Structure 1
Amino acid sequence: MYDHRRLGRELDLFDTDPLMGAGLPYWLPDGALVRHELEEYVRELESAAGYRHVYSPVLGKRELYEISGHWSHYSDDMFPPMQLGSEEVVLRPSLCPHHALIYRSRSHSYRELPLRIAELGAMYRSELSGVLGGLTRVRSIQLNDAHIFCTLEQAAEEARAALALITRAYADLGIRAARHRLSLPGEGGKYVADPALWQRATALLREVLDDSGIPYESAEGEAAFYGPKIDVQIVDPAGREATLSTVQIDFHQPERFDLHYIGPDGAKHRPVMVHRSVIGSVERAVAHLLEEHGGAFPAWLAPVQLVVLPVSEAQAGPAYDLVERALAQGLRAEVSVEGSLGARIRAARLAPYQAVIGEREAADDLVAVRLRDGRRIEPLAPADLLHHITARVEARGTALWADA
């Protein structure tokens, strides 16, 4: 059973320091590389699906969160306001109020809709120290978030498309959903008091799940304060369940921010706001990937993709030449020369590809190829090996070789 906290430190991916504070991990170079690749993957996936990316500040005036409803329904999970002159500013607990303002800053026609706004942005939650743990529960969160502004008629299709993106990403990352949950409101003042709003949004999400053929369970008391949501649940090796991805339909914030678009009749109409996150927080996604794969990331995510192992010092020259060519093609490669060949092979066990160069291979300008899953490939010319690896990396996914 893998624990991402132990693996993350053993593999030099992330760590913490008391002077930075609990729930505030920092990323070491290999971890930063994994995070960067994951973020770039999501940006590319979203761009291909018609999303446009923005940046917004991590601070907002307290008034912003009063309008959105966060201050009255969610302030216990927010950091306290900071006084700046006569104003109070707050570290944002979510990105949706900022995206609502971005939408509101320009006029919109029905012809522009759906308008899909995405951001990989930081947000902050005032989590109690007792619930913090590794990357799964942190106070500084890098969230893969997006908000789709659309007509009522478009809302269900946009939510279905968001679920399809989540399914695609899980396949590429080699992870699976444990279950899908329709999260509904519970009792108490945590939730916006508008029964009609909840009924409309819940009916749409049920339609999305039913049409998608996805089995799901309903759970009261798990909704966002402003509306129901589809939660994609994952389970760690210890059996603990958590939410990784979400899709929400929101009628509340478009009204609170007085959002509108001009319809074909020339009149103002209220858009629907679909919230969705494909991989959730980058922190939780990396934690789950570590535990799912035991540190053996898919080839396109691996910090080192190719390790070249010369059998003796006599083959060091061809080994360094191969690494140089790999680096020039955008691959992450290194030479391993210290210790016995067996020890070096074991040390490189998490690298998707190992290229061994002995006396015979050097004489024939070939490399012996070992895959991480234990398979051995017939010796190849260096150019052919790099072609195979580059093709698998560019294809993303979890297959190590074209015939896999």
Structure 2
Amino acid sequence: MNDHRRLGRELEIFDTDPLIGSGLPYWLPAGAAVRKAIEDYVHELERRHGYQHVNSPVLGKRELYERSGHWAHYAEDMFPPMRVGGEEFVLRPSLCPHHALIYASRRRSHRELPLRLAELGGMYRSELSGVLGGLTRVRAIQLNDGHVFCPPEQAAAEVSAALDLIETAHAQLGIRAARYRLSLRGEGAKFVDDPALWARSEEILRDVLRERGHDYDEEHGEGAFYGPKIDIQIRDAAGRESTLSTVQVDLYQPERFQLSYVGGHRPAMVHRSIVGGLERLVAQLIEVHGGAFPAWLAPVQAVVLPLSDDEMPAAEDLVRRAVAAGLRAELAGPDRGSLGARIRAHRLVPYQLVVGPREVADGDASVRLRDGSQAGVIPVAELAARSRPSY
């Protein structure tokens, strides 16, 4: 079983240390490379679909979360306030209050809408130690978040567009959804008590799911405190289910922040996360691919293997050319063992470039794929092109 907690450490993707704390993993170089590839891919995917990227602080005053409703409905999942002078600051549990303030920073015309804001940002959840594990349940989350501000009558179209992006990204990453879940309000003070607001938001999400022909399950008590959501569920190697991507319709926070556009109209706020938190996503990718990531995602995309010391100068030059072309490439010289041993040690690398006397004479390398097949001579520029994601 490809348990990411074991395999992720063996592949040197991530690790933990008790001095940092439970639920606070750190990324090793291979993991940082995977994470950066995902960040770049999602950033470009969003840009191509009309998103503007922003950056906001991971802290906010307690009053911000009182305004957003988090303090009343979500405080038990937040870290306690930190007092600085006469003010209290909180590690944010989500990015939406900051994005609401960015929207409210100036007057908005209807011609600006829909306004699509996206950010890869940190958020923090005060999870109990008993539920923490590997990368799937952590206390510090790097979330691929985004918020679309639009007239309420456009919310359904924006929800559907967000699902398009989610399904595109999942296909590129090799992820298959276990099921779609329509997450609804539950009982108690955790959820905003406004039945009409919930009914309007739920109707939008149901209509989109039906129009797209998705089978889905309805579950009460799984919604956000301010509104319902479509959750795309995944299962890990042990069959445990969790939420990866999500789309939410929020008619509550626009009211709380008094958001408007010219004419005094109130926008709807569509929350969406295309690939969710990077920690949970990478955990899933480790288990789905068993460490044999798609070429565009692999920590090392190409390894250069000279047959002997005689080929080392040509091999070093090939590595330099590969890196300059945009590949994550490294050299595995004869000092690391026989050619067979080096190939086995790099069995998860998509492209293995063998350099012998003939390749030195020709100025090329023979490309061996990780499944053992021979791909012949492939120019470095073409290898780089093959190692990019599609959009």
Over 3 Å counting, the alpha-carbon distance change for 1:95 and 1:395 in structure 2 is closer
Q: Residues 312-335 of structure 1: CA distance to partner in whole angstroms, max 9, x if unpaired?
A: 222222222211110111111112
Q: How does 1:79-90 map to 2 (within 5 A)?
A: 79-90=79-90
| Correspondence for 1:231 | 231
| Correspondence for 2:199 | 199
Contact 2:325-2:381 within 8 A present in 1 as well: no
Contact 1:25-1:135 within 8 A present in 2 as well: yes
1:319 pairs with 2:312: no
Residue from 368, 374, 377 that aligns with 1:376 = 374
**Partner Cα distance (1:373, 1:287) in 2:** 23
Residue from 369, 382, 391 that aligns with 1:388 = 382
**Partner Cα distance (2:375, 2:198) in 1:** 57
Q: How does 1:53-132 map to 2 (within 5 A)?
A: 53-132=53-132
Gaps of at least 5 residues in structure 2 are: none
**Partner Cα distance (2:229, 2:140) in 1:** 23
Please state whether the residue corresponding to 2:106 is helix, strand or coil. Answer: coil
**Partner Cα distance (2:261, 2:384) in 1:** 45
TM-score (norm 1): 0.94
Q: Residues 179-207 of structure 1: CA distance to partner in whole angstroms, max 9, x if unpaired?
A: 11111112222110001011100000011
Shift of 1:213: 1.7
Contact 2:295-2:388 within 8 A present in 1 as well: no
Over 3 Å counting, the alpha-carbon distance change for 1:212 and 1:312 in structure 2 is same
**Partner Cα distance (1:254, 1:148) in 2:** 11
Query: How many percent of aligned residue pairs carry the same amino acid?
Result: 67
Contact 2:364-2:379 within 8 A present in 1 as well: no
TM-score (norm 2): 0.97
Q: Which amino acid aligns with 1:288?
A: Q
**Partner Cα distance (1:320, 1:163) in 2:** 45
Q: Which amino acid aligns with 1:357?
A: V
| Correspondence for 2:20 | 20
Query: Structure 1 stretches (4+) deviating beyond 4 angstroms?
Result: none
**Partner Cα distance (2:52, 2:191) in 1:** 30
Contact 2:150-2:269 within 8 A present in 1 as well: yes
Q: Structure 1 residues 365-374 or 94-103, which shifts more?
A: 365-374
**Partner Cα distance (1:364, 1:158) in 2:** 54
**Partner Cα distance (2:83, 2:373) in 1:** 61
User: Over the residues paired in the alignment, what is the CA RMSD in angstroms?
Assistant: 1.3
Shift of 1:175: 1.2
Please state whether the residue corresponding to 2:22 is helix, strand or coil. Answer: coil
1:292 pairs with 2:277: no
| Correspondence for 1:272 | 268
**Partner Cα distance (1:351, 1:283) in 2:** 22
Residue from 292, 304, 322 that aligns with 1:308 = 304
Please state whether the residue corresponding to 1:334 is helix, strand or coil. Answer: strand
Q: Residues 256-312 of structure 1: CA distance to partner in whole angstroms, max 9, x if unpaired?
A: 1111111xxxx2010000000001001111111111111111111111111111122
Q: Which amino acid aligns with 1:99?
A: H
Gaps of at least 5 residues in structure 1 are: 398-404
| Correspondence for 2:169 | 169
Q: Structure 1 residues 142-151 or 322-331, which shifts more?
A: 322-331
**Partner Cα distance (2:5, 2:379) in 1:** 34
